[in-house]
Chains A and B, each alone.
Chain A
């Protein structure tokens, strides 16, 4: 299971922390400009831009391409179900698009050959991505790490994006990295190993 973190405003502190701690992605519910800023503030993490407002598809394709370039190809674009995904894929591939009787190509092209476009999240948190089972999950900062790891494993998710609610977010984020993430990749965790991880906190 790949792990993501939903960034809280003002976004970049969470993006930096998630990057430093090795999260696979940071989820940014804000305009694509904020995703580009998160790219400049980080080095490795993938950035999911989930802009709230629906934007004209051409303008969205331009913004996403620029954000992908500004993040050195680390962008994932997540749009709502009403977005013209076909046009986005055409634009990202450099194929011609038509608008107002004009035929033209959207520039620049993104850094990635195949910029991921996800759709969602639905009311239950499910996100549709090519060949991936993805969901955004609300998790209380008081979570039990063993239970959370078991839940994420049994859900069969490829990507779990955690939206932390409650006090002590930073400490909770560190507990995810120390006590939850290792359990996503190990079948069995001995009591001694568990005790060792807990002693690191």
Chain B
């Protein structure tokens, strides 16, 4: 892999169709824009578009990614549509198996099922899932899908950073889908853990995907503002949902600030050259698909222009 020519698929994230207090919008328009954005991403040459899931939140955060994803698949002909991530323990395995096969009929080879375990207590409780059962339920779903999709089905990616989660992906010969805020040493270590588990099981880790907050800027002022917007995009749900050292984010403002700052710092923000170099580093570490996270609620007015800019200035320099 040459440093000037990183080899990786570049997709875009992360559509969740939210009308937040910070960035209100009509929900029907957001679902129409999902289809428009999918067509735009396809025409610009991006590999994929990724969706995210949550439940029972005032902003409408999309709870049904297979349904929303199907509309994006039907709006396009080549684009892959993925989930980053689908909250596996909250869904009925038989239903996931059946819908996955329907999506495969609709759009062969174009649906990518990225899965995680979820963490928000209210979601788990409403679906009657104990926190301690999440891994077991994910494994049960994976067993079911391995059987139901033996003759073909969507590709499976697994999120999660615990050793157990990383080893699960390797052992089963699946792909990883890693979060944006990982730094390079941690990223290399995670990939090593998954690969070692794959070796032990006599299989190989299929692919390594990563979400990455990213934006092209023209100068230092612009960069500071963009990093702030990227960080702030996580403040509301981080404050309301994340458990930071035993307390909910908003109750421990300094810890929440640190998380927001981490999202800002780890984002790939700079010139087009900086983005290409950053992607090359990820490719060197073993990542072969990056979903550039540009569609934040805080960037809604401008992310489409950024999609075009990345397509013009970054995609041609990847192979």
Contact = CB atoms under 8 A, between A and B. Distances in A.
B106 A70 contact: no
Contact of B67 (A11, A33, A111): A33
B244 interface: no
Residue of B28, B55, B122 with highest tally of chain A CB at under 10 A:
B28
Interface string B41-79: 000000000000001111111111011111111110000
B126 A63 contact: no
B289 interface: no
Nearest to A15: B74
A53 interface: yes
B94 interface: yes
A113 B271 CA distance: 46
A139 interface: no
Given A58-B127, A62-B55, A40 B72 contact: yes
Contacts of A108: 17, 27, 60-63
Nearest to B32: A72
Interface residues of B, number: 43
Contact of A41 (B31, B60, B74, B125): B74
A2 B94 CA distance: 35
A165 B80 CA distance: 34
B126 A66 contact: no
Interface in B77-127: 91-92, 94-95, 98-99, 102-103, 105-106, 122, 125-127
A38 B69 CA distance: 12
Nearest to B61: A107
B126 A99 contact: yes
B27 A34 contact: no
A56 interface: yes
Contact of A37 (B71, B94, B125): B71
B58 A12 contact: no
A70 B92 contact: no
Interface residues of A, number: 42
A102 B91 CA distance: 18
Contacts of A63: 64, 66-67
A100 interface: yes
A181 B92 CA distance: 42
B126 A37 contact: no
A34 B56 contact: no
Contacts of B62: 66, 108
B55 A111 contact: no
B126 A31 contact: no
A137 interface: no
B125 to A, nearest CB: 5
A56 B92 contact: yes
B128 interface: yes
Contacts of A35: 67
Contacts of B59: 107
B35 interface: yes
A87 to B, nearest CB: 13
B72 to A, nearest CB: 7
Residue of A38, A58, A72, A108 with highest tally of chain B CB at under 10 A:
A108
Contact of A11 (B56, B57, B99, B106): B106
A120 interface: no
A115 interface: no
A88 B99 CA distance: 21
Contacts of A69: 17, 27-28, 30-31
Interface in A101-128: 101-102, 104-109, 111
B68 A36 contact: yes
A34 B70 contact: yes
A188 interface: no
Contacts of A31: 66, 95, 98-99, 102
A104 B56 contact: yes
Interface string A10-37: 1110000000000000000011111111
Given A39-B71, A107-B56, A33 B95 contact: no
Interface of B: 17, 27-28, 30-32, 34-35, 55-64, 66-75, 91-92, 94-95, 98-99, 102-103, 105-106, 122, 125-128
7 contacts: A37-B106, A40-B70, A59-B64, A59-B95, A63-B64, A102-B126, A107-B58
